[in-house]
Amino acid sequence: MSDTTIKLHLETKSQLDQFREYKNESYDEVIVKLVYVARQCRKNPELSQETIINMDRARERIRKGQFLTEEQAKKRLGF
């Protein structure tokens, strides 16, 4: 897959930063999530609202440090 560079206003970048769930999350990952949510909003607005609420709750848990690392999850699942 090839990469491209896009030009963003600083305000747009700041707004994208607010959707990051973790510090090293790439802008590509953020945009993919936003596109997914936008598509879901068109298909099923009620379900989409639930998805947005769940994403906000997950973001809050991450900010509070209430999550498992990949290694912890693997150990818990027996991998």
Domain boundaries, the chain: 19-77
Question: pTM above the 0.75 mark?
Answer: no
Q: According to the model, what pLDDT value does residue 10 have?
A: 95
pLDDT in tens, 12-56: 999 999 888 888 899 999 999 999 888 888 888 777 778 878 888
Give phi and psi for 58, each to the nearest 5: -65, -40
Q: According to the model, what pLDDT value does residue 50 have?
A: 80
CA–CA separation, 67 and 55 (whole Å):
14
Q: According to the model, what pLDDT value does residue 32 have?
A: 94
